[in-house]
Amino acid sequence: MVVRQETHPGTGAGASPPEFREAVASMHAARLRPEVFCEEMPAPQRIAPFASALSADVTVDDTDVGTGRIILLHDPAGNDAWEGTFRCVAYARAEIELDLITDPMLASVGWSWLTEALEAHGATYLAASGTVTRVATESFGGMADEGGTAQIEIRASWTPVVPITAAPGTPLDLGPHVEAWGELLCTAVGLPPVPEGVAVMPSRRGQRGSVR
């Protein structure tokens, strides 16, 4: 994945600890499907001493069908609620078929998209939490011909950790976590999985990547 990098005042740029800089570099090295257009976005400045964020749109046939963001938070002093010094905060929103909005299993299935993606990409984590929201919109009057629309929104956070099997001193790799978030976006919009053995090449904002 190639992202446009910017420096945002107040985010700790230039004074961030090495472990945070390494984690951010691993975020930018993640590989996403060519349908995902990703770029760096301003990170929240008041949640943690250090933060970095990415946003993404999923485009199919020149139409945006999903959007999301993932934020990496870092507090060198640790955070009891996180059970660690890093925290991933992710958001995904996708258009879905209107008849799915009444499916009682939609929320639990939406959450499983995230946990299964994290597992599939080998992303080790702790203390996951989040919500799944379904939104239905109906049009009336002069807009009645537009019909109804439905969306699913997934908000989640988890603490990324180094696998217990890793050698001592192994840096935290955020690549699998970002890739899992990208897969969540693609699954939510209904894209079929990439066949096993097919390499996914990095995507560039404004330029469709390639799969070979």
3-state secondary structure of 39: strand
- Do the beta carbons of residue 52 and residue 40 sit within 8 Å? yes
- What's the pLDDT at 195? 60
Instruction: Give strand ranges (E) for 2-124.
Output: 36-41, 50-60, 63-79, 84-96
- What's the pLDDT at 153? 97
Helix axes 18-28, 175-188, angle to 10 degrees: 40
Q: Which residues of the chain have pLDDT under 70?
A: 1-14, 144, 195-212
- What's the pLDDT at 205? 40
Residue corresponding to tokens 């955070």: 79
Element (H, E) at 185: helix 175-188
Q: Are strands 63-79 and 84-96 parallel, antiparallel or unpaired?
A: antiparallel
Find, among 211, 208, 180, the residue nearest to 35 by Cα: 208
- What's the pLDDT at 126? 97
63-79 pLDDT, tens digit each? 899 999 999 999 999 99
* Distance (Å, whole) CA 38 – CA 155: 18
* Distance (Å, whole) CA 147 – CA 138: 6
- What's the pLDDT at 26? 97
- Do the beta carbons of residue 58 and residue 189 sit within 8 Å? yes
174-207 pLDDT, tens digit each? 999 999 999 999 999 999 987 654 444 444 443 3
* Distance (Å, whole) CA 162 – CA 84: 11
Find, among 37, 41, 39, the residue nearest to 62 by Cα: 37
* Distance (Å, whole) CA 198 – CA 62: 23
* Distance (Å, whole) CA 73 – CA 88: 6
The single-letter code of the amino acid at 34 is P
